Amino acid sequence: MRHFVGAVRLRDWMSSLPTLQPEIKIDEPDLAYSLERALIGQHPTIVKMRQLIERVAGSDAMVLITGESGTGKEVIARAIHALSSRRDHPFVPVNCAAIPHDLLESEMFGHERGAFTGASVHRQGLFAMANLGTLFLDEVSEMPPVMQAKLLRALEDGVIRRVGSDRGYQIDTRVIAASNADLAAQVRKGAFREDLFYRLQVIPMALSPLRERRSDIPILIEHFLQKACDATGRNLTISREAMVHLWSYDWPGNVRELENMVQRLSIMCHDDLIDTSILPPDLLSPNRTIATEIPQKLSETGLDLNAMVHELEGKLINEALKRTGGNKQAAAKLLRLKRTTFAAKLRRCGVIAAVSEDSGSEL
Amino acid sequence: MTVKNTYDDVSDGVSGAPIARIMVVDDDPDTVSILARYLRREGFAAVEASSGAECLKLINQGEIVEIILLDLMMPDMDGFEVVRALKNNPATVEIPIIMITARDDIDARAEGMRLGVSDFLPKPVLRKQLANRIHSQLEMVATARATEATLNNIDGKIAGAGKQ
């Protein structure tokens, strides 16, 4: 199972997020770096993003990357680093949400021996580890106010101070920050320092969620399938129908969720063909807003009967309209309802327009 | 659920930014008027077209819209032909197209996917689904424009930032 090392590592990484000692990986410089291969897609937002990365990489301007979880914020940060003159120096990613608040300062700036209980050796800190390279501060919105102030100071002066030391150290570290929360909204709420926000966001880079750029879904699927093929020597393909279902799904976990799904499907599939028979039920539901499960028993916590009846009604009305090609009279008959009752229910279910192929009628 | 017109907020920060314009293309006048009325109630500007040809004519005359809601089954020129024409024109290739169709089948979706449709909306059109899809595409348009704006004045920003 050599080929699924990547999948396992990703899962481990995800489950290991809230650990006390986050694993810090320092990358070897990538000589054959290709931006097209790192940030995949042909959607206009991605094409523009690649142009922006190339421009930004040539400078040390501060970048703030925003986007939902799984959209590839770290991919962008790595790309900027890999294309910059800092590429031969470390890229140090750090998830600010994964480090307990009281350890954050010593993790970031280092500490002297004996600075606090348990500080038996001196530690250089992530800023210093990334000296001449790039420090990637993910989930920067999770940083407590005290650390926000210290970070701002370090960015303004280019000097860091280890915990327990009076001496400042000059550093040359490029900082790239990222957040999946709306940082501007955090500023308005008073949860994030305005001065730090403007300091970080000289160049804003916003990543669209996958559901906003569906045209890239087939391209990404092909890419992840090819990766699985290269690793296994198999010749995996996907059926047109399965592709359409993957294309239609909303992917709340974005590219990362899609990658995990393709990996999972490539393990599960028979005869090297991914078809609809192995797709999870969520992906097969053609109607993304209507729940499919109607419980037969009342659970401990109870349920909202009105909402459930409403949902069931909407689902069956939709079914009836589909089956009759949008003909309301026939649909009403199918459901043993008077035409007027049916029309009233339609309105209540939020149907705006149901138009049959031949007649075309207003609701 | 109502659609918050975030596109206005993000456009370029200038007050009185234009309201998002959405074109509705359907050969059935009732559908066009219902959808247009709904869109106007939600605070958008609705542009109505009764055929694929009229949609292309309006666009070629300089009509600028953020999104096109396009019916698939239309006489003379079907939705796919309209998509092909829009995607072959560099001026219109980036306009997101949400295809509305009673033919909620795999073949239609596959063809739409192949041609570069941004999303599908099955008939009967549900308010919530329409709102979600419009919201998504307007967010995308806002993101694309923000990136474009950053690209256009990046030299100033980089020069202003200087070396750390």
A-chain residues near B162 (CB < 8 A): 60
Q: Residue A19's pLDDT is what?
A: 36
Q: How far apart are CA A104 and CA A21, in angstroms?
A: 11
Alpha carbon of A271: minimum distance to chain B alpha carbons (Å): 23
Contacts of residue B110, Cβ cutoff 8 Å, sequence gap at least 6 = A240, A241, A243, A244
pLDDT(A32) > 70: no
DSSP summary character for residue A25: P
Pairing verdict, β A168-170 and A91-95: unpaired
Mutate to test the interface with B, among A156, A244, A246, A248 (most CBs of B within 10 A): A244
pLDDT(A5) > 60: no
Q: How far apart are CA A346 and CA A6, in angstroms?
A: 49
Q: Which CA distances in Å does B133 have to A244, A249, A358, B114, B152?
A: 17, 12, 26, 19, 29
Q: What is the pLDDT of residues A182-208, one digit of tens each?
A: 899 999 999 999 999 999 999 999 999
B27: domain range?
Answer: 17-153
- The DSSP secondary structure of A208-272, one letter per residue, reads PPGGG-GGGHHHHHHHHHHHHHHHH----EE-HHHHHHHHHS--TTHHHHHHHHHHHHHHH-STT
Task: State the average pLDDT over residues A280-300.
Answer: 63
State which residue of chain A sits closest to B157, comparing Cα positions: A202
Residue B105 in domain:
yes
Do the beta carbons of residue A32 and residue A80 sit within 8 Å?
no
What mean pLDDT, rounded, does chain A reach?
Answer: 83
Residue B36 in domain:
yes
* ipTM value for the complex: 0.85
| pLDDT above 70 coverage of chain A, percent | 83
Q: Which residues between 306 and 325 in chain A have a beta carbon less than 8 angstroms from any beta carbon of chain B?
A: 314, 318, 321-322, 325
**Out of A158, A321, A354, closest to residue B164 by CB:** A158
Which domains are seen in chain A, by residue range? 2-208 (3.40.50.300), 211-284 (1.10.8.60), 294-363 (1.10.10.60)
pTM beyond 0.90, yes or no: no
Q: Residue A252's pLDDT is what?
A: 93
pLDDT(B92) > 80: yes
pLDDT(A282) > 50: yes
Q: Residue A25's pLDDT is what?
A: 52
What CATH number is associated with residue B117?
A: 3.40.50.2300
Q: Is B124's CB within 8 Å of A60's CB? A: no
Residue B1 in domain:
no
Q: Is A361's CB within 8 Å of B125's CB? A: no
Q: Lowest-pLDDT range, A25-29, A105-109, A184-188? A: A25-29
State which residue of chain A sits closest to B132, comparing Cα positions: A289
Let me know the angle formed at the C-alpha of A281 by A279 and A282, rounded to the nearest 5 degrees. Answer: 105
Using left for φ > 0, alpha for ψ between -120 and 50, and beta otherwise, residue A351 falls in beta
Residue B163 in domain:
no
Q: How far apart are CA A284 and CA A244, in angstroms?
A: 10
Q: Is B28's CB within 8 Å of A206's CB? A: no
Do the beta carbons of residue B117 and residue B97 sit within 8 Å?
yes
Residue B4 in domain:
no
Q: What is the pLDDT of residues B131-143, one digit of tens each?
A: 999 999 999 999 9
B-chain residues near A67 (CB < 8 A): none
| pLDDT above 90 coverage of chain B, percent | 65
**Number of domains into which chain B is organized:** 1
Residue B3 in domain:
no
Q: Compare A344 and A91 and report the one with higher pLDDT.
A: A91
Element (H, E) at A11: helix A5-15
Give me the total of CB pairs closer than 8 Å, taking one residue from chain A and one from chain B. 156
Using left for φ > 0, alpha for ψ between -120 and 50, and beta otherwise, residue A36 falls in alpha
Nearest to B79 by CA among B57, B107, B51, B58: B51
Q: Lowest-pLDDT range, A113-127, A214-228, A313-327? A: A313-327
Q: How many C-alpha atoms does B109 have within 13 Å on its Cβ side?
A: 21
Nearest to A362 by CA among B63, B145, B125: B125
